[in-house]
A and B are shown apart, each in its own frame.
Chain A
Amino acid sequence: MGQTVLVCDDAIFMRTMITDILSQAGYDIVGEAESGAQAVQRFRDLKPDLVTMDIVMPDMGGIEAVREIVKLDPDAKVLMCSAMGQQALVVEAIQAGAKDFVVKPFQPSRVLEAVQRVLG
């Protein structure tokens, strides 16, 4: 398919997992970020088709990052990654412009479904 993805999470473990799930499905992982600030910067540089964004990160959280990214590109497609019990944050992220969400622990099929909904 070749659609490009930017993966943002402060944990290497999570970034690796998401990268594996998506690249095995044919998506092209073009960059990673460890913080909200990095996420915004990489987005500006890479202009990916999709961004996966962890909600809780140091140096600008995921919600703030979404806001900044949407300012740069109103059509930006951001998929929030959240833990259970963070519903209020997810809703806030959606209101900030996120297009969908998946909940940890990840199920590969769920992640791919969500990606398809967002890109679809």
Chain B
Amino acid sequence: MDLAKYAALFVAESREHLKACNQLLIAWERAPAAAEPVNGLFRAIHSIKGMAATMGYTQVADVAHHAEGLLDAIRAGRVTVRPEYLDLLFRAVDGLGEGVEAAATGRDGAGTDAGALARALEVAASGTAVRPVSGAPAQGDGSAPGTLLDVRVMVRSGAPLRGARATLALRRVEALGQLSHLVPSAALFERDDFDGRFAFRLRTEAAPREVDAALRAAGEVASVTIDIAAADGVLDTAAFKQVRVDVARLDAMTKLAGELVVSRNRLLELLARAPDGELRRTVEALGRQVGQMQSEVLAARMTPVAELFDRFPRVVRDLARDLGKRVRLDVEGGEIEADRAVLEELGDPLVHLVRNAIDHGLEAPARRVAAGKPEEGRLRLVATRERNSVVIRVVDDGRGIDRARVLQQARDAGAVDESVQTLGDDQLLRVLARSGFSTATAVSGVSGRGVGVDVVVTRIRALGGSVELSSRVGQGTEFTLRVPLTLAIVNALLVRVGAERYAVPLAYVAETVDYDGGSKVDAGPRESLLVRGRAVPTVHLARLFDVPAAGGQRRPAVVLQLGERRAAVVVDSLEGQQDIVVEPFVAPAGTPPWFGGATILADGQPALILDAAALA
């Protein structure tokens, strides 16, 4: 059997099982008396064990086997749950995770401590029984007495006439209760390709070990697995209506869709000069179809933000423990969807911010109580939709950022002018985001490595997004990350400045107005344009880019809006809208921060994409 093609499946399925394990362990920690987490954990670990053993990842299988042993001992009542067992299981899950990732690169391993971990699990599983084993608890079903069991049996592979053996086993167990959900159906037992494996549900008053004994009494039974069935319901057929798609394939489709869009745009443009009716109609139809396909492909990439947030309960739990803080994590808006590529990019920045919040933002429990706050710090991860953006907020109710200290440090570093007295929220963020600036020093006075606000800002900007900061001393800090719903194809407004055209993502364009014909206000050192009664600071791109200003025409201004920030960007002319494919942009050193990507326009010419956050 060629195992290589199963390797990817092993990794994908194991990752899902481990994710579930983390969630179950956390739930179990909060409610130690619940039985369901143990069973779910057992099933997940058991599956991983089986797959790992088949694939020959012996270390992973070994750790899984012993974790399974401990879980079995717990659910059979041979061992009472102790907090250190939960920690051990968390470590086991981590070890298995390392093993699975190692498997993804073709290695067999289960973390640095696999052997010791396995031994520790084994010792825990052999703990003395504290309470006598009772019969299986009755299921809250009400319709029939006894427990509903999920049973899986495997007849020894070397046994002759396995189908007949399976039949014998079934008959023995039928005497103990009501059989249902037999897979494969009994008729298939007699086939030559029956592999000796079958599964069924049994409603019985007999204890699992009686069922086990009955099955084995049929002879030649290699393994029996009995779980308490979670629910007496029909198989969830909706689960089969989804297909797993390789992310690389999705990326390839997206790229192709993008290229199709560019070609379509080119065709339409060429067509504008050709009056041919038939050709025009055909291309327009093609254009619509390409547009639809693009929508479908983009929709396929949409993923609930919950997938991004999922890992955080565990991250928060571990960090809180390590740092001696008590933290409650609230997550909202998980159902909001965004492009998978966007969510992937948000992972690291969010971890940075969460670490910051727990390490520097939230005070130690005693400090909090002294300050009249609840002992448990509150950390919130909130996702919301805003037109074409997804907004993620990381909010803590901790001590806030000490602006005075940051200002002093900034002054010392020469980052701000001497005349600056206080730092507003925007300035505070800009100072913190300077590469290498350490807010650890700023906040706690303890020098340490930079906490990565600069990394966060850089990554979010690279996505075409923006970061905002709001902080109140003694009350807490809130970081707001605003990112596009989807990266790959952007609806953009084309503008001309000097000899070049630039693309402005429409997501950030509130409106376009007439600059030269509009009312201007000189409010301090910056000129503003009155837009609907409000003063919006202006940015003259010609001056910024140091190109000769176009004379003699009424120039438009594009009003950019990012949350509360607005800017009226003055350009030479507007050149229409286009769907553009964003190409990543590696700026040479020294490039000003005004550009967030590049693209090929419909007429084949390249254009730089303006970074709205840098201008507003």
Binding site for B on A (CB under 8 A): 82, 84, 86-88, 90-91, 94-95, 99-101, 103, 113-114, 117, 120
Number of A-B residue pairs with CB-CB distance less than 8 Å in the complex they form:
36
Query: How many Å from the CB of A117 to the closest CB on chain B?
Result: 5
- B217 and A87 form a contact (CB under 8 A): no
- Listed by A's residue number, 13 A-B pairs whose Cβ atoms lie within 8 Å are A87-B163, A88-B190, A91-B163, A94-B168, A94-B171, A95-B167, A99-B168, A101-B161, A101-B164, A103-B161, A117-B217, A117-B218, A117-B219
Complex Cα–Cα for A91 and B169 (A): 12
Give residues of chain B (170-189) contacting chain A, Cβ–Cβ below 8 Å.
171, 189
Nearest opposing residue in chain A for B162, CB measure: A87
Nearest opposing residue in chain B for A95, CB measure: B167
- A87 and B164 form a contact (CB under 8 A): yes
Is B233's CB within 8 Å of the partner chain A?
no
Binding site for A on B (CB under 8 A): 160-161, 163-164, 167-168, 171, 189-190, 217-219
Contacts of A99 in B (CB 8 A): 168
Contacts of B161 in A (CB 8 A): 82, 84, 86-87, 90, 101, 103
Q: A91-B189, A103-B161, A117-B218 are in contact. List 6 more A-B contacts (CB 8 A).
A: A87-B164, A87-B190, A90-B161, A91-B164, A100-B218, A117-B217
Contacts of B168 in A (CB 8 A): 94, 99-101
Nearest opposing residue in chain A for B191, CB measure: A87
Query: How many Å from the CB of B257 to the closest CB on chain A?
Result: 53
Complex Cα–Cα for A120 and B217 (A): 9
Nearest opposing residue in chain B for A117, CB measure: B219
Nearest opposing residue in chain B for A103, CB measure: B160
Complex Cα–Cα for A82 and B163 (A): 14
Interface SS, B side = helix
- B164 and A90 form a contact (CB under 8 A): yes
- A100 and B167 form a contact (CB under 8 A): no
Complex Cα–Cα for A114 and B219 (A): 8
Contacts of A90 in B (CB 8 A): 161, 164
Which of A87, A94, A99 has most chain B Cβ within 10 Å?
A: A87
Q: A84-B160, A87-B190, A103-B160 are in contact. Are A94 and B219 (CB under 8 A)?
A: no
Contacts of A95 in B (CB 8 A): 167
Contacts of A88 in B (CB 8 A): 190
- B219 and A113 form a contact (CB under 8 A): yes
Nearest opposing residue in chain B for A113, CB measure: B219
Contacts of B164 in A (CB 8 A): 87, 90-91, 94, 101
Complex Cα–Cα for A63 and B217 (A): 22
Nearest opposing residue in chain B for A120, CB measure: B217
Nearest opposing residue in chain B for A101, CB measure: B164
Complex Cα–Cα for A88 and B163 (A): 9
Complex Cα–Cα for A82 and B167 (A): 15
Contacts of A103 in B (CB 8 A): 160-161
Complex Cα–Cα for A102 and B161 (A): 9
Nearest opposing residue in chain A for B194, CB measure: A87
Contacts of A100 in B (CB 8 A): 168, 218-219
